[in-house]
Amino acid sequence: MVPTSRRTFLGGIAAAAASAAAVVSTPAAQGAVELSPTSRDAVWSRRGAGPLYWNTYGYNFPHDAPIPEAEWQANIDWLAREYAPFGYTMANTDGWVEWSTRTTPNGYVISYNDEWEHDWAYWKGYLEQRGMELGVYYNPLWVTESSLRDRSKKVLGRPDVAVADLVADGDLFSTKGAGLGLYWLDVARPGAKEYVQGYVRYFAALGVRYLRVDFLSWFESGTDAGIGRVGVAHGREAYETALRWMDEAAGADMMLSLVMPHLHEDAKLELRHGDMVRINADADRGGWARLSGGRQSYQSVWPNWHNPFCGFTGWSHRAGRGQLILDGDFLMPSTFSTDEERKTMMNLMVIAGSPLTIGDTHATIDGHGWVFTNRELLELNAAGLSGRPLFLNGRRYWDDPGSRDTERWAGQLPDGGWAVALFNRGDTETVTKSIDFAADLGFDGGATVRDLWTHSEQADQVGISVSLAPHTSRIFRVTPKTGRRFQAVFAAWGGGANFNNNHLHHRAIGFVDKLEAASEAPQVTFAVNSPTAGIRPIRYRYANSMGYRSTMTVTVQRVDGSTVAAPFQVGFPHLSAWDVWGTVPGEINLGRGLNLITIGRSSQDVGAINLNFIEV
């Protein structure tokens, strides 16, 4: 069962034996130091999967208008009645915000729309009374036209600076008519930092823990791939500054959802300063064409890929605990033609660790809300599942579209089990899709396989093979009979850590490489449940043909970032070739419940390894 309070927001030949055991030590004994951060690494992404919530888009888009307050209330009541018991405990506004012009003395909008009777605080309280919470769509870089015209509006903490002075002449983001303009702030102007951070803290003080920040590509480059020039290009430096300010102000109190980012430099800035990123074009009218159709190729600006199948696949190396939650946008089951397509929609979002965002409204759901209430699927989200497509080589998907399989996915759970999803994206042919547990997931001995839609299971299976008609899919939970082996290729990769399969005799589809000095803070994070606290045995399967003993640093933390075990170094003896794999035994201190075990190369480590798996 999924508790309603879960988120009120929110392997080859036999291994060669290592010649020496791992050394488990304190920092004082071996000089172990903390691993360098590679991302914002806030509690939101450390949980793994995205939140469950409802968004107003299903009203806004077809009406091309703000949602009326009465309709907002009707949807909240519907959400509380039908979906909050399943964990959908947040109601989130969306765009069409130009009609919000009433502001605080510091220029911050007081409600979603001027025609609404009630402000943010009222609706926060209304939701709280129903066991839910408020999410807000707004970009702290926006300045209302009403604030530009009223020089009494002063920057918070800077009474010497009028909000009107934060905007360069003509730097318009959008307008819906006279007095309804939104303008971009100039980060180089005095008071800009105070305004942006004050905006974030303004929402945080209202109890908002989810801020959806849109049109980031427009701010950075002033262009849209489908439109052309849309405004002023503020540049990469200004974009980084703006994200850093929001990050600092949000801290651990607020989740930052970054929408329409270009994701340049392999999402470098978004990783540092955000928790979640959109990876596909807008949901628009929904349906199969938006889920799987449209442009299949990569472009270097937003949206890098058109549909979530390709977007999730292309950015899956940046997903996982402590990295980025990948957002596939809003889910509107009413827009699909068949129930099988609706299941495919849900299966993809769950296996990829996306937020599960109800995009339909109470008036449009039309009996299709069942797709959001499969408790066995929701348990995967609650467990933090963030799966990956099967990788076929170590190249980036934008360089080699054949490097990852968009139709075969797997993800490992903290109990050592697995989720597997198989898809047929084709329009005409029935196909067979398969996963082999030994070759693909790296474990032997068979497993129990449970179909999460039919709620049926089979024991002693060595793989899964299913026949899929067009637009259909299957999703399974797989429980190995023996052992708790956690594969590095299905863990979270930070910094320069990367997938590869260019050496022989690894288990599963590959291993993680680039755990070396030339990589920027490379590390791998495993989510591991422990029924009790205490010292546990651990085995590391690795390769090291550097010619000398290499070391890596290991840390154990809780999801909230608190320390379970101080950093310690593990030694990995030299082996004869990179195709030879060794195992190093050791001990590790785990807390009761969920532990995040990170293995990485710190500034005090030497050498390099390839990491295949750990057994705990």
Of 94, 214, 247, 329, catalytic: 214
- Using an 8 Å Cβ cutoff, are 475 and 351 in contact? yes
Instruction: Dig out the tokens for 275 from the structure.
Output: 């928790």
CA-wise closest residue to 318 among 148, 579, 497 = 497
Residue 235's region, left for phi above 0, alpha for psi from -120 to 50, else beta, is left
Give the C-alpha distances (Å, rounded to integers) separating 570 from 153, 244, 530, 586: 58, 34, 21, 8
CA-wise closest residue to 499 among 416, 396, 412, 419 = 396
Tell me the C-alpha distance between 280 and 348, whole Å.
Answer: 13
Of 41, 94, 247, 275, catalytic: 275
In DSSP terms, 131 is beta-bridged to none
CA-wise closest residue to 388 among 353, 438, 342 = 353
CA-wise closest residue to 271 among 234, 231, 229, 243 = 243
Amino acid at 160: D
Characterize the bridge pairing of strands 172-175 and 456-461: unpaired
Characterize the bridge pairing of strands 404-412 and 456-461: unpaired
CA-wise closest residue to 349 among 7, 44, 53 = 53
Catalytic (active site) residue 160: no
Query: DSSP state, 192?
Result: H
Instruction: Dig out the tokens for 614 from the structure.
Output: 């750990």
Q: Is 204 helix (H, G, I), strand (E, B) or coil?
A: helix
Q: Is 281 helix (H, G, I), strand (E, B) or coil?
A: coil
Catalytic (active site) residue 214: yes
List for the chain the helix, strand, coil content (%; round to 5). 25, 30, 45
Tell me the C-alpha distance between 97 and 109, whole Å.
Answer: 10
Dihedral of CA atoms 305, 306, 312, 316 in degrees, nearest 10, equals 0
- Using an 8 Å Cβ cutoff, are 323 and 45 in contact? yes
CA angle 245, 247, 250 (to 5 degrees): 105
Amino acid at 145: E
CA-wise closest residue to 217 among 302, 138, 141, 298 = 302
Tell me the C-alpha distance between 395 and 426, whole Å.
Answer: 25
Q: What are phi and psi of 586, to 5 degrees?
A: -170, -165
Q: Catalytic residue numbers?
A: 214, 275
